[in-house]
Amino acid sequence: MRAVVTVTGIDRRGVVAAVSSFLAEKRVNIEEITQTILGGRFAMMMVVDTSEIQEEFSLLAVEAAALGDRIEMNIRLQHADIFEAMHTV
């Protein structure tokens, strides 16, 4: 299943490493990634494959948000179809 990970916050060292390591540990494959820094604000979006995760998707989303709290970033994990529906005008 495809999902979208968004990461936003004040730019700091190690964000990409922390998020990608977390996803790898959870058996999530990053298919596409983009990131930018604008005015000291960091934004990253990933399209990921969650078909091999060993836990419920909702638990993975909670754990991703908790990682965000630890690294002082906002991390959201959503099913791709929900993300796309929310961002369609």
Residue in 45, 71, 77, 75 with CA at minimum distance from that of residue 58: 77
pLDDT digits (tens, 9 = 90+) for 7-62: 999 999 999 999 999 999 999 999 999 999 999 999 999 999 999 999 999 999 99
Q: What pTM was estimated for this model as a whole?
A: 0.89
| pLDDT tens column, 66-76 | 999 999 999 99
Q: Where are the domains of the chain?
A: 2-86
What's the CATH number for 2-86? 3.30.70.260
User: Measured between alpha carbons, how far is residue 15 from residues 12, 52, 54 in Å?
Assistant: 7, 23, 24
Instruction: Evaluate whether 70 touches 62 at the Cβ level (below 8 Å).
Output: no
pLDDT value at 82 more than 90: no
Q: How far is CA 50 from CA 3, 14, 42, 78, 89, in A?
A: 7, 23, 24, 11, 26
